[in-house]
A and B are shown apart, each in its own frame.
Chain A
Amino acid sequence: MKIVAVCACTVGIAHTYMAQEAIQKECEKRSYEYKVETQGGYGIENELDEDDIDSADVVLLAIAIGIEGDERFDKKREEGKVLSLDPAEVIADPSGAIDRVIALAQ
């Protein structure tokens, strides 16, 4: 299972990175492949490129704001493989969030 994600909260200093950590930890627990991009106060970090997204099974957008490069996920969106959640939801229940996103892979 390969999950790619983008984390982006409003102020861009706390929740963005807390969500990134939560997703990474949960994926490590389940031995999933993962790559998590963040768009916090600094802008895009650890950017997901076309290969990253194409080779992923599902996409988790832990975002509260409109993100840069949203069109990258259009193809996966059409396939119904994209889940958008609020970063706070992901931080409060990372396991639940991951469960919900991998459900899209079936």
Chain B
Amino acid sequence: MFKNFGKDLLKAFNTGVSYFIPVVVVGGVFYAFSLLGATADSTSGMVATNPFMLNLQAIGNSGLKVMIPVLAAYIAYSFGGKPALAPGFVLGYLANNMADSGITSTGFLGAMFLGVAVGYWVKWMKTWKVSKTIHTIMPILVMPILTTFVFGLLYIYILALPLGMFMNWLTVILGNLQGGSAAVLGIVIGLMTAFDMGGPVNKAASTFTMALMTTTPALYIPNGAFRVAVAIPPLACGIASFIARNKYDDADRQIGISAIFMGLIGITEGAIPFAVKDLPHTLPGIMIGSAVGACLAMVQGVECYVPHGGMIVAFATNNIGLYTLDMAIGTFVAVFILIIMKPNLKKNSDPKIAERAAA
């Protein structure tokens, strides 16, 4: 059962996140919208006063409240299948939304722990040898009740304290980053984003910034930095291919058009064809550009409320102007470096030109 533990663990997290993302998108978008035209209150940040906006905020908060249960449930599902869903949802909710009842909220971390624990436990319960009658009521009574009982109590009496302390520490440290340290985090986020353009390193940065949105209070600035960064590699490659006519050929420009669109809608993978064709001259430019954009966003406190990037989510940030500006600056820097580093296209690669030169 524990043979491929590492691989199964990664697969489980990915499965959970896969179902989690659209929920966060919905929660974040409605929440962001509700803050348009909100007034700044010194104690609780931005406060919406308009009744319509408050209703939108209610929709948004519904999404934000259900996202952790979804995450926990589908991590559990990956290991234990359908019978793992019920305890997964319930315990995910317990670990995130019951602060009023004195249960520590541990967001992402709690969901991860409980999801894995519930999933493995249910997987094991499926192998129990029981009588025919008991077998019938296993998935509907025995499994959900026993699982929730065991891990509910485990969470409340044992896990919540250390996990809660860690989350608190994380929130305090990352929530109070100023100046130099904020800049460093931004640079790291930017570098990771562009390094493999949607690959595992990029995914680590995205998961990390998403997890920070589930803390209490939620941290949206690292996500803001990340979402600025994701757009820069494809935008920069696309724009560079059009500006530097003697360094990119027509095929590049074809891809460049779609890369620009992909950058605008926040799909870093648009830069992959350029990177594959010429990694050494592409990677530095996009990495530095993303680092610059993300660094600026961190230092300026640009928040993004949705787990998606590019210009299409600009409205879901706390400062459309700065968000756009940081993306533009980062792209500009990346384009500059790309053009400087890239060699001119070889003149003799075209046989007709070589003939004429020889004549």
Which of A12-20, A30-38, A46-54 interfaces with chain B? A12-20
CB distance from B330 to the nearest CB of A (A): 21
Interface centre among A13, A18, A66, A91 (most CB of B within 10 A): A66
Count of interface residues, chain B, beta-carbon cutoff 8 Å? 18
The DSSP consensus for interface residues of chain B is helix
| Complex alpha-carbon distance, A50 and B222, angstroms | 46
Cβ–Cβ < 8 Å partners of B18 in chain A:
10-12, 65
Contact A15 B203, CB 8 Å, known A41-B22, A64-B11, A65-B11: no
Instruction: Scan residues 81-97 of chain B and give those whose CB is less than 8 A from a CB of chain A.
Output: none
Q: Is the CB of A66 within 8 A of B267?
A: no
Contact A65 B269, CB 8 Å, known A10-B203, A11-B21, A88-B199: no
Cβ–Cβ < 8 Å partners of B12 in chain A:
66
Q: Is B32 an interface residue (CB 8 A)?
A: no
The DSSP consensus for interface residues of chain A is loop
Q: 1/0 per residue B176-205: CB within 8 Å of A?
A: 000000000000000000000011100100
Least CB separation from A14: chain B residue: B269
User: Which one of B77, B200, B267 contacts A13 once the chains associate, using CB atoms below 8 Å?
Assistant: B267
Q: Is the CB of A65 within 8 A of B15?
A: yes
Instruction: Scan residues 1-37 of chain B and give those whose CB is less than 8 A from a CB of chain A.
Output: 11-12, 14-15, 17-18, 21-22
Q: Is the CB of A18 within 8 A of B203?
A: no
Chain B residues near A (Cβ < 8 Å): 11-12, 14-15, 17-18, 21-22, 77-78, 198-200, 203, 267, 269, 272, 276
